[in-house]
C-alpha cells in the first residue's frame, strides 16, 4: 500500500521522545523540519531564505566530488556559504571513495560543518555516472564510500559529522533501504534522510513511508522522512507513522519558503502560526528576487529568478497574464518591476 497514512487504526504510531529537534554530531538541530538539497533551487539565497522562515537545516546544492571541476563558476557559487547561519551543510556526490573523502576534507577546510553524501538523486546524468541513487545497486561500494569519508573527516579533528541522503532502493523489486541504513549506521553516519520512493519511481506516484518506518525501527541514528511533505498536517501524520526525528521538505517549499513556519509550529509547538499576510509574502518574494540578482548577476539571475517566479506566480490570479509577462522579461530590472507590480496588486486585495 503506497500511502499508509489513511489507516491509522491498523498502523499505530511509533513512540518518539521529542518533536522539538534532534542531534547530528555536535549540533543540536532545534526544529524538526529541514530543507532538502535541490540542484538548481537551493542556492545560497534560497537557503538563507528558508532558514529565515524556520528551516532548521538547508544543505547546499549537490557538489561533485571531482575537484578538477571546482574551478567553474557554478561550483564556486555552490561552495559559497557567506552569511549563512550555522550549521553549514555541504552535499557531495560521487562514486569513488577516495575522491569523496578528499572533497569532504577540502570542504571542511572551507567551513563545512556537516558533510552530506548524496545517494538519492535519480537524475540520469547522475545515475549514468554511477552516482546518486545508482549506488544503491552496490552495497559493498556504499559501505566503502561511507567508511572512507567518515574516517577522512574524523581525521581532520574538526568534529564535523557525515550524513547520508538516499532512497528506499533502486526499484520496487530491490528495496534495500533498511540494509543501506544499517550499513550507514555501522559506518559512522550521524543521520539519514530517506526519500520515500525508489530510484525507478523518480518522482512519480506517491511516496511510501513503510520503508522509512522500518528504517527508523532498525537504526538508532536520527532519520528524516522525505517525499510529498506539502503541509503541516501531512508532516505530522508522516512523523507519527514513521517515528522519524524530522521531515525534509523539497518540492513543498517551491514558491512557499514560509512552509517551514507552519511545519515547525505544528510539530514543535502544536499550533500552526497565523498565516503571513499577503503583504508579508509579497515582501519575501521581492527580497528573494533581489538576493538572486545580487548573487548570480544579470544573466544567470534573470534565468534563475524565472524558475522561482513560476512557482510564486501560483499565488496570483490564474486568469491574468502576469506569469507570461514575468517569464518574458528580458532584464532583471524589468522582471523586478513586473513582480513588484503584480505581487503588489495581489497584496492590495488579499
Q: Where in the sequence numbering do the catalytic residues fall?
A: 121
User: For residue 315, how many other CB atoms are within 10 A of its CB?
Assistant: 18
Beta-bridge mates of residue 249: 35
Distance CA 162, CA 179 (A): 18
Strand pairing class (27-29; 22-24): antiparallel
Phi, psi of 56 (to 5 degrees): -75, -25
By the 8 A CB rule, do 162 and 146 touch?
A: yes
Amino acid at each position: 500500500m503506497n500511502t499508509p497514512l489513511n489507516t491509522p487504526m491498523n498502523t499505530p504510531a511509533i513512540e518518539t521522545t521529542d518533536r522539538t529537534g534532534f542531534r547530528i554530531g555536535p549540533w543540536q538541530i532545534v526544529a524538526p523540519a529541514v530543507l532538502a538539497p535541490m540542484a538548481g533551487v537551493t542556492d545560497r539565497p534560497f537557503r538563507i531564505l528558508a532558514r529565515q522562515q524556520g528551516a532548521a537545516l538547508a544543505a547546499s546544492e549537490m557538489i561533485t566530488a571531482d575537484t578538477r571541476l571546482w574551478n567553474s563558476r557554478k561550483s564556486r557559487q555552490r561552495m559559497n556559504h557567506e552569511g549563512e547561519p550555522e550549521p553549514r551543510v555541504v552535499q557531495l556526490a560521487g562514486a569513488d571513495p577516495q575522491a569523496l573523502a578528499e572533497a569532504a576534507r577540502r570542504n571542511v577546510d572551507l567551513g563545512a560543518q556537516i558533510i552530506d553524501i548524496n545517494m538519492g538523486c535519480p537524475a540520469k546524468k547522475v545515475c549514468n555516472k554511477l552516482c546518486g541513487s545508482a549506488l544503491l545497486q552496490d552495497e559493498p561500494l556504499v559501505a566503502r564510500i561511507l567508511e572512507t569519508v567518515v574516517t577522512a573527516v574524523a581525521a581532520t579533528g574538526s568534529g564535523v559529522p557525515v550524513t547520508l541522503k538516499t532512497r528506499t532502493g533502486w526499484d520496487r523489486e530491490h528495496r534495500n533501504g533498511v540494509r543501506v541504513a544499517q550499513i550507514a549506521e555501522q559506518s559512522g553516519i550521524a543521520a539519514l534522510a530517506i526519500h520515500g520512493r525508489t530510484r525507478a519511481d523518480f518522482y512519480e506516484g506517491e511516496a511510501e513511508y513503510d520503508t522509512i518506518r522500518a528504517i527508523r525501527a532498525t537504526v538508532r541514528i536520527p532519520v528524516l522522512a522525505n517525499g510529498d511533505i506539502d503541509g503541516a498536517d501531512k508532516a505530522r501524520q508522516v512523523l507519527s507513522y514513521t517515528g522519524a526525528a524530522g521531515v525534509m521538505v523539497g518540492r513543498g517549499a517551491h514558491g512557499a519558503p514560509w512552509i517551514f513556519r507552519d511545519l515547525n509550529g505544528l510539530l514543535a509547538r502544536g499550533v500552526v502560526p497565523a498565516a503571513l499576510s499577503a503583504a508579508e509574502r509579497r515582501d519575501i518574494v521581492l527580497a528573494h528576487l533581489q538576493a538572486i540578482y545580487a548573487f548570480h548577476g544579470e544573466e544567470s539571475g534573470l534565468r534563475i529568478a524565472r524558475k522561482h517566479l513560476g512557482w510564486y506566480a501560483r499565488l496570483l490570479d490564474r486568469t491574468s497574464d502576469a506569469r507570461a509577462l514575468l517569464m518574458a522579461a528580458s532584464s532583471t530590472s524589468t522582471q523586478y518591476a513586473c513582480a513588484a507590480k503584480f505581487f503588489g496588486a495581489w497584496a492590495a486585495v488579499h
